Amino acid sequence: MNAALRRTGSRLGMAGWLLAVWLLLWGRIDALTVIGGVIAVVLAYAVSRLPVVPLAARVRPVRLAEAALEFAWDLVASSIVIGWHALRAPRRIQGAIIEVDARSRSEIILLAVTTSISLRPGTLLVDLDWDRSILRIHAMPVRSPREAGAARDGVLGTERRLMRALVTPDDTRPEER
């Protein structure tokens, strides 16, 4: 897929999403809302020059559903852990700042990884080195270097799941194409 085609695809995807938001806000689908929505999207693009959003070349739906389910589970489980610490011994909580070498060089994967680690209680992205794909993450509760390693494994596991779910041109090795 060449760059121009990808850019057009990304624009169309974004336009589709904006149109969907418009229709959801109206709460009904008829000729008037659709035409009005198309006009609103075109105007929004003309005025704001929305940036090109990175897209995945291919999505594996089952893997994506797996990743989403594991994410939901992580979200609930670690919320309970953080809540427990907030109730029991908040003053003694310890954290760590860890560096994680991301394997992916794809923007969309890193975007999904950082969003999901920052959404989940217990890990928070504090810095990102784009050139070397290094994520600096604050993790808590972490009481020992071993637990810091577990937090790192969790982040890498999230990345692995997302890389399985979303196939991107940046990460595909030539023999896999």
Partner 1 sequence: MSPGDIVSAVLLPLGAAFCAVGALGVLRFPDLLTRLHAATKPQTIGLVLVLAGVAPQAGSVTAATPLLLVAVFQLITAPVAAQTIGGAAYRAGAVDPGHLVLDETAGD
Is 172 one of the binding residues for partner 1 (CB under 8 A)?
Answer: no
How big is the site for partner 1, counted in residues (CB under 8 A)? Answer: 41
Name the segment binding partner 1 (CB under 8 A); options: 60-68, 101-109, 110-118, 161-169.
Answer: 110-118
Q: What type of residue sits at position 161?
A: R
User: Residue 118 or 172: which CB sits closer to partner 1?
Assistant: 118
- Alpha-carbon distance of 162 to 93, in angstroms, equals 30
Q: Which of 144, 157, 170, 172 binds partner 1 (CB under 8 A)?
A: 144
- Cβ-based neighbours of 92, under 8 Å, separated by 6 or more: none
Longest dimension (CA), the chain: 61
Cβ atoms < 10 Å from Cβ of 6: 15
Residue 107 Cβ, how far from partner 1 at the closest point, in Å? Answer: 15
Is 97 one of the binding residues for partner 1 (CB under 8 A)?
Answer: yes
Residues 61-80 that bind partner 1 (CB under 8 A): 75-76, 79
User: Residue 7 or 143: which CB sits closer to partner 1?
Assistant: 143
Residue 97 Cβ, how far from partner 1 at the closest point, in Å? Answer: 5
What mask of x and - would describe binding to partner 1 in positions 16 to 35, judged by CB under 8 A? -----x--xx-xx-------
User: Residue 8 or 59: which CB sits closer to partner 1?
Assistant: 59
Beta strands in 5-55 (DSSP E): none
Is 96 one of the binding residues for partner 1 (CB under 8 A)?
Answer: yes
Spell 56-82 as b/e; 16+ CB within 10 A means b. bbeeeeebbeebeeebeebeeebeeeb
- Alpha-carbon distance of 164 to 79, in angstroms, equals 26
Q: Residue 127: helix, strand or coil by DSSP? A: strand
Dihedral over Cα of 66, 69, 71, 77: its sign: negative
Instruction: Give the footprint of partner 1 on this chain (CB under 8 A).
Output: 21, 24-25, 27-28, 75-76, 79, 82-83, 85-87, 90-91, 93-99, 114-115, 118-122, 124-127, 136, 138, 140, 142-145, 148
